[in-house]
Chain A
Amino acid sequence: DIVMTQSPLSLPVIPGEPASISCRSSQSLLHSNGYNYLDWYLQKPGKSPQLLVYLGSSRASGVPDRFSGSGSGTDFTLKISGVEAEDIGVYYCMQGLQGITFGQGTRLEIK
């Protein structure tokens, strides 16, 4: 199994300030097609998760451009350029290369 490890697990942020979440996988997520099979999801309170970023760095449809994903191989990062109140929730990274595995989640809260 590919194990996904996120940090930090809790992230208090002042509105307007940037935020960054790290995700590390136990094996490379680089597919033979050259893409990293790594997604980022946000689960807002009481809601179903929603896709933010797929293939490591591609924003999903309708996702604001303050969200950006980067990284390759085993180390990935989700950055929010300026956090807004509506961004609170739990962020999960997920690998889709071998089956599917989620990270533990990072709870973003407004300071």
Chain B
Amino acid sequence: QVQLQQWGAGLLKPWETLSLTCAVYGGSFSDYHWSWIRQPPGKGLEWIGEINHRGSTKYYPSLRSRVTISVDTPKNQFSLRLTSLTAADTAVYYCARVDRVGGDYYGMDVWGQGTTVTVSS
């Protein structure tokens, strides 16, 4: 059974950089796309971006200037980097598997446990 295990710093200061990593256990890494989603306290889900095993990325337009998603295929891991943090970036951050092969699509079928990130001085 596929599992996503994510980790990273939970308390950051304004203007610092968020770094999170998500490891994929028990399944293929190269056959899927991988995504980051966040959820501010008491609010809905917001997509951050997506990457495939070759490193091809798509980002949410309003975050594009501050976001980098990268992949380490030999380690079955992918990472999120978000720069110039403000309090508005406080959220639970999730990694997820996107079942998207060629032109086919089957949804985000596996999610990580979530990491709470707080931005405060």
Contact = CB atoms under 8 A, between A and B. Distances in A.
B105 A96 contact: yes
B101 interface: no
B112 interface: yes
B65 to A, nearest CB: 16
Contact of B45 (A54, A60, A102): A102
B103 A33 contact: yes
A4 to B, nearest CB: 10
Contacts of B94: 48-49
B47 A105 contact: no
Nearest to A48: B111
Question: Which secondary structure dominates where chain A touches chain B?
Answer: loop
Contact of B103 (A31, A102, A105): A31
Given A48-B94, A96-B100, A101 B108 contact: no
Interface in B62-110: 94, 98-100, 103-109
Contact of A48 (B100, B105, B114): B114
- For chain A, the bracket of interface size reads 20 to 34
Contacts of B98: 96
Contacts of A100: 35, 37, 47, 50, 60
Contact of A54 (B37, B106, B114): B106
A99 B109 contact: no
Given A102-B46, A105-B45, A54 B107 contact: yes
A17 interface: no
Contacts of A23: none
Nearest to A46: B114
Given A33-B103, A96-B100, A99-B60, A51 B108 contact: yes
B50 to A, nearest CB: 7
A13 to B, nearest CB: 20
Closest 9 CB pairs of A and B: A54-B107, A100-B47, A48-B111, A102-B45, A39-B107, A105-B44, A51-B107, A51-B109, A54-B106
